[in-house]
A = this chain, B = another copy of it.
């Protein structure tokens, strides 16, 4: 990092710190007014956003980025409207600041209240999806924090326009414009710089793939909320309702395979494998899911197919496919399933399908994950599904907060 870059970061940090103090003292109606103005500004600025986005897309194509990646950074009218509505939804959420979580009086008369307060300055480091800019800004501001955003270099023009439009409304609501800033230098070294600014950054949230999260955890000197890597399992027990099991597995795998809470591996009790797998796997294949099976799975199911079932490898067990691929293993029982999940799981979302009360209890106690499900799909791990309204990500770390 050059001295100029260092000074740039420190200046961002100092402005964010000063702004955070005003944000922390801002009452709910001021913050909500800002969020509504932001929504308006995003809608009114649609053309500017789309032009900026077109430049990013053209540059990405020139660089030869893959179609899937280009797709991710592409905005359209629907996505821009979704951003605006997201801002309004966050305005409608309750304000966490000042909530008295609990309070008590000690025998000596000391009165103690535990009160929710803002973090101060939150840095969000993300990859190509530009809608994270408005989502993260909205949630952080609502909770009384200043935000420093650092998106992917391939969406810098889009993010710059977005942050311009969003932060440009803050003054009108009576809040400092510096409450929302973007690191506008694409040099990777600035991310490392940001991760070390213990005086100016109170929390960093990485949002993206496993590589980004690993890098942040490795380099950060500020506290991190780890989000996202989800190698999630569904275990179908001997005592499962097999119709329920089918619906849960299909939902967990197919409803949004690119999501971190999608199932990647299906574990099936050997006593029900012969009854469950042939139908279920045939149905999944019809939906475009590639099956990678253990030997038992292949002997149970593969024989029916001209092309058979691909053999699963050790690497598959620890892979978050984020795609229409499912690894399948027949296990001897609950304990083998628990051992498998302990070994390969990422402590995100894990599910058991069973009608046996004792086994459900054993699974929920033995499995260490942000969310453990009984007879429900891993796909429910989501801020909206939990009733929280919105989310920055799914925390898989163990210090508060854990989950959506």
Copies of this chain, complex-wide, total 2
Does A279 lie at the interface of the complex (its beta carbon under 8 Å from any beta carbon of B)?
no
Partner of A25, one of B112, B202, B365: B365
List B contacts of A110 (CB < 8 A): 376, 380, 385
Residue of B nearest to A219 (CB): B221
Say if the beta carbon of A366 comes within 8 Å of chain B.
yes
Chain B residues, Cβ within 8 Å of A217:
198, 221
Instruction: Report chain B residues within 8 Å CB of A221.
Output: 217-218
Once A21-B366, A25-B366, A366-B25 are accepted as A-B contacts, the answer to whether A399 and B225 lie under 8 Å apart by CB is: yes
- Please tell me if A63 contacts chain B, counting CB pairs below 8 Å: no
Chain B nearest CB, measured from A214 CB (Å): 10
A403 cross-chain contacts in B, Cβ below 8 A: 114
CA distance A368 to B217 in the complex (A): 25
Do A223 and B397 contact each other (CB < 8 Å), given the known contacts A106-B385, A110-B385, A387-B104?
Answer: yes
Within 8 Å of chain B (Cβ to Cβ): is A147? no
Q: Check: A188 CB closer than 8 A to any chain B CB.
A: no
In the complex, the chain B residue whose C-beta lies closest to that of A114 is B403
Give the one of A110, A198, A366, A399 with max B CB within 10 A: A399
CA distance A223 to B110 in the complex (A): 32
* Cβ proximity bits A92-121 to B, threshold 8 Å, 1 near / 0 not: 000000000000101000101010010110
Q: Tell me, in angstroms, the Cα distance from A376 to B108 when the chains sit together.
A: 11
Q: Does A309 contact B (CB under 8 A)?
A: no
The distance in angstroms between the C-alpha atoms of A24 and B365, with both chains bound, is: 8
A350–B387 CA distance with the chains assembled, in angstroms: 36
Q: Mark A362-404, 1 if CB is under 8 A from B, else 0.
A: 0001101000000010001000011100000000011111010
Which B residues are CB-close (under 8 A) to A21? 342, 366
- Measured CA separation A137–B143 after assembly (Å): 36
User: CB distance B397 to A106 under 8 Å?
Assistant: no
A203 interfacial by beta-carbon distance below 8 Å: yes
CB closest chain-B residue, reference A25: B365
* Neighbouring B residues of A25 by C-beta, 8 Å: 365-366
Question: What B residues does A376 contact at CB under 8 A?
Answer: 110
**CB atoms of A398 and B202 under 8 A apart:** yes
Chain B: CB-nearest residue to A400: B400
Contact with A106, one of B119, B386, B398 (Cβ below 8 angstroms): B386
B398 touches A203 (CB 8 A): yes
State whether B119 touches A386 (Cβ < 8 A).
no
